[in-house]
Amino acid sequence: MSFRLPVSSPVGRWVVEGDDDGLTHVWFPADKKSLTHKGVPSLVENAAAQLEEYFAGERTFFETDLHVDGTDFQIDVWRALTQIPFGEVATYRDIATAVGRPAAVRAVGNANGKNPFPVIVPCHRVLASNGLGGYSGGLEIKEFLLELEGWSVF
């Protein structure tokens, strides 16, 4: 059984979902997921607290267990994303090279779009070679996250 908790941010209410063994999803504010009010595992509560600290500018990394479900390529990409330090960015090409598939730039973008753990697995730190690129949560949220980390969007 999955449990969901809200996380407030200046760009809306995110939702953290998981169980006793780890997180299964972080939902964007636009996703409008229902919440769980009783019996929420401490792991899910802890992850929600960490996200709130991040949005308050008090946290630069996350320590939580994740239920990662994806293709081998997606998992490789998501693992590479966790290597981008707070406040820094990489390009889709950088990530493609990091996972040993330098021609798979578009596939990296697709894997980013399927990342079930936005912010915790920082897909917002990946930019196109000619600008911001896309973001599943919307460019306004991507810009907010980058600026929160001290990276100037403009």
Single out the catalytic residue among 66, 123, 141, 148: 123
Angle between helices 72-81 and 105-113 (to 10 degrees): 80
What residues contact residue 61 under an 8 Å CB cut-off, 6+ apart?
A: 86
77 is catalytic: no
| Distant-in-sequence, close-in-space partners of 115: CB < 8 Å, separation ≥ 6 | 78, 81, 121, 123, 136
Cα separation, 77 vs 111, whole angstroms:
7
Question: Which residues belong to the active site?
Answer: 123
